[in-house]
Amino acid sequence: MMFKKRVAWMVGVLFVCGSVLTGCGLKADVATRPEKPVVTLEDGNWNPAVKATLERLIAENAFQGKKAVFDFDNTTICRDIGEATFAAMVEAGQLNLDDVSRDITPSFVLGDKKLSLDTVASLPEFYEDFLSATKHQNGEKTPYSNSYAWVVQIMAGMSPDQILPFSQKAFGDNIAMQDSGAADLKETKINGYRMPFFYPEMVDLYGTLLKNGYDVYVCSASNIWTVRWMVANNLNKLIEAKHGTGISIAPDHVIGVNVLLKDNRDGKLYKDRLLVKNNSKYANLDLEEISHYELTTQVVYPITGYFGKVANIIKYVTKERPFLIGGDSSNDLPMLDRAENRLWITRLESLGYQKGLVEQMGDSLPGNWMIQPVLYKKSPGFVATQAELDKRLAPKPSALAKTTKVVDFLKENGQLSQF
């Protein structure tokens, strides 16, 4: 009888301790755990269904250190900073046909054309053809990988500090945002390539995630030094202006295409991923420090393209499934499939990418898909509804017809029901 009374007394004590969270030690962490925050993204031009889903997911999973990974070109920014930087370097003569190594540049046949550096009129012409070099093969799913590497390899002999001024010129302090004013405005370009600008909605999303305890990364197929500069000197400033000082992406949370670097002070070879961890001046793009590192032609693998993005996430971010991944193209689909939640930046000018999306969605791991329409050519930026699309592209009937066809395709395949 005494034994039963003692057991009852102990159960009562445990119940009281657990209920009132006294110093007994049971569930004490609950007392200090922050309440579920109220998350409200700026309206911008989010599709209402996507915005609501993101707000709910971010609030429900806040302050748990969960991982979010975003592509950069045409996801974080509208358009492509890697290509625009390449175009700026060609325009200035920093890159030219005569100086590019033939050892790393193949000649090939595309359709009925024989192509090489000696037959094309310009480096951009070769690059654009090289993007399609293997598309003729049945089952080709990763056609751009070699081009992602080549456009960095041809910078061999330069140092990162020689690249960054051209990135700055190609970005132009977000000047291309003016293009979003109207569909009949002339697109802002540099040497034939559209200049990029930051999607305001993505800037706000980055800041909202960071403020709510998420660990945020960028994984890009552009060269690492350009993307890191864009993040450190532009994205972080925009985030801090909205969300407060210190709310920013760390240098080692930016992953991109890179090559082995030779330090002219000791003649040794170095890798970006280790330098950014161990050399604070290098990580913060100190111009004097990075001037000592010469790019070689030797690509560092795994390259951040297609399934290489997955490999980089496993190696440098997490072996678990990331909480959220954002991307816009077939290059991003492998890493999107790995995420618990996927934000697909839907370029309405690209039916091919949307066909790839639908195919991937039919064979994906369990998880949420959020489909956010955007324009990147005429009247570029996020698009909330069909009515808004109709209004923005009214001055360009052919563009409206093309993009509406993409919307119809997605609706026929069970997407954009609330667009």
Strand ranges inside 112-239, DSSP E: 113-115, 189-190, 193-194, 197-198, 215-223
Tens-digit pLDDT profile for residues 3-60: 444 444 444 433 333 433 333 333 334 445 567 899 999 999 999 999 999 999 999 9
Question: Which secondary structure element, helix H or strand E, spans residue 382, and what is its range?
Answer: strand 381-382
Task: Encode burial over 245-270: b for 16+ CB neighbours within 10 A, e otherwise.
Answer: eebbbebbbbbbbbbbbbeeeeeeeb
| Neighbouring-strand partners of residue 299 | 259
HSE of 266, CA atoms in CB hemisphere, 13 A: 4
Per-residue pLDDT tens digits for 46-96: 999 999 999 999 999 999 999 999 999 999 999 999 999 999 999 999 999
CA-to-CA separations, 170 to 27, 54, 178, 397, in angstroms, rounded: 54, 31, 15, 30
The region, left, alpha or beta by phi > 0 then psi within -120 to 50, assigned to residue 412 is alpha
What is this structure's pTM?
0.91
d(CA 216, CA 198): 17
∠83-86-88 over CA atoms, to 5°? 110
311 contacts: CB under 8 Å, gap ≥ 6: 302
The contacts of residue 376 (CB under 8 Å, 6+ apart) are 74, 78, 79, 194, 347, 349
Per-residue pLDDT of the chain (419 residues; tens, 9 = 90+): 444 444 444 444 333 334 333 333 333 344 455 678 999 999 999 999 999 999 999 999 999 999 999 999 999 999 999 999 999 999 999 999 999 999 999 999 999 999 999 999 999 999 999 999 999 999 999 999 999 999 999 999 999 999 999 999 999 999 999 999 999 999 999 999 999 999 999 999 999 999 999 999 999 999 999 999 999 999 999 999 999 999 999 999 999 999 999 999 999 999 999 999 999 999 999 999 999 999 999 999 999 999 999 999 999 999 999 999 999 999 999 999 999 999 999 999 999 999 999 999 999 999 999 999 999 999 999 999 999 999 999 999 999 999 999 999 999 999 998 99
Q: Which domains does the chain have, with CATH numbers?
A: 48-85+157-412 (3.40.50.1000), 96-153 (no CATH)
Q: Which two tokens stand for residue 373?
A: 């329409």
Q: What are phi and psi of 344, to 5 degrees?
A: -100, 115
